[in-house]
Structure 1
Amino acid sequence: MPSQRRMRLSGLLFIVVVIVILYMSSSASRTQGSDFYTRTQEALQSREYEAAAKQRDAEDVGSRLKAAENAAKQSADKKSQKYFESVDGAGNEKSVAGRVKLGEQAADRKNPPGVANVGGRPADIHAAKEDKDETKEQHEAEVELNAILKKSPMIIFSKSYCPYSKKAKNILLKKYKIVPEPFVVELDEHPLGHYLQQTLGQTTGRTTVPNVLLMGKSIGGGDDIEELHIHNKLIDKVKTMGGSRIVEVAHRDGLSMDSDSRSEVKLRV
């Protein structure tokens, strides 16, 4: 049997352990109930919540980026597939819904009139006769016409034997003083006269003579000039169209066509 001394020590130790446990429990209870402990716990929980929220946001952004990347890739794959489905084995595009694709042979296509073969740009008035059809004489006539138009603001394209040409020259050269003086081209005496007349027909729409050009624009033939003269409108016409290029235009000897004399005018050629 244990001795009484040992039993007393054991009982004393037990009491000490109980006291210590009660003290620690009481101390822990007071600590948990204190403001400092409460604030510390709240701060720790708040940090944990913030960290968890950031992680969720990062995961959400990553998933959205991944989804966008996959969608873009799928769209590109679909476009690529449609392209290869519309291209034949020779690398030319097929016709879709009746529309002609770019891969068709150029020989099977015909441009509309007045449209060049390159770049879809409008052709000039000689498009139908360009390159192989345009003769050397026609090209020289175009160059000569450009040179003639620089001679004077007014050009009279005439033929020496034509009575209508004589009528126009008689009015413009003898009844009016025009400075610079009109430049006369006798097409029947010019080596390129035939081709010049063709070119004038294409550029002005007038194929007959005389053809009076003012600042590069046709104002008519013999009858048109006579009509302007009779109605006293020739001076205004020349001034308006000639602008600053016409230094002077007036009736010779200061005479003008009045209403009484207009009815009596009869030009003899």
Structure 2
Amino acid sequence: MTLTARIEALTGSRVARIRALHGGDLSEVAHLTLADGREYACKTGPMVAVEARMLEAIGDTAPAPRFVAGDLLLIDYLPEEPATPAHWRDLGRALRAQHDREGEAFGWPDAYAFGPVAIPNDPAPDWPSFWAERRLCPSLPFLPPDLAKRIEVLIATLPDRLPDLRPSLLHGDLWTGNVHFSGGRAWLIDPACYYGHGEVDLAMLHLFGSPPAAFWDGYGATEPGYDERQPIYQLWPALVHYRLFGSGYAGMVERLLSAAGA
């Protein structure tokens, strides 16, 4: 059955138009218009059912998943608009509210991936163990020996450097490309959710730039030690980029290790 036929069977309406959109690592994305006027973002890929559950967990700050069947996901389509200070303030408020939502354990019920890079989410008894075992250690076999050794040195210090905390709901891949502004609001798209330390989302948001002051007006104050922990948390997405795109990211990994004192 063709994609168009599957969509029509799922929605009960004829497909009027499908227009390709920029997609993520795991899914092809298109803007779908049905004959009855409904519009969706249409995603196809091997893990869309997991993504749908993540969007549901985020709730009102994410576009709602409306249909999911096999490798096909239809979510609300939100026309993009230019970012304003009000949009960024809304993002800060929404992210703070999300980070205030606690889970029972660090991790997530489903494993996930960034393209070919697997993301293990098995629970861990404490936060330093989760960050070491589920985020940093999996990259060690893919690194030059000198970088791997420096990460092992850093891992040994994590119990003394990462806080004892309750697990917070994370977006998990919060760079600016996964923040969507529409309808006067900020929306979170393409999640890689798990429960951990909210500062991980903040660190990712600052890896390739910094949000404007309005974001912090909405989010509020950070915890003591935030600046010292930021390079530890930024190291993981840097390692993912190294594995996805090659040794051109080795300098970023080295810089973050130095900033973390390793």
TM range (shorter): under 0.3
More strand by share: 2
More helix by share: 1
Structure with higher RCO (Cα < 8 A, 6+ apart): 2
**Structure of higher CA gyration radius:** 1
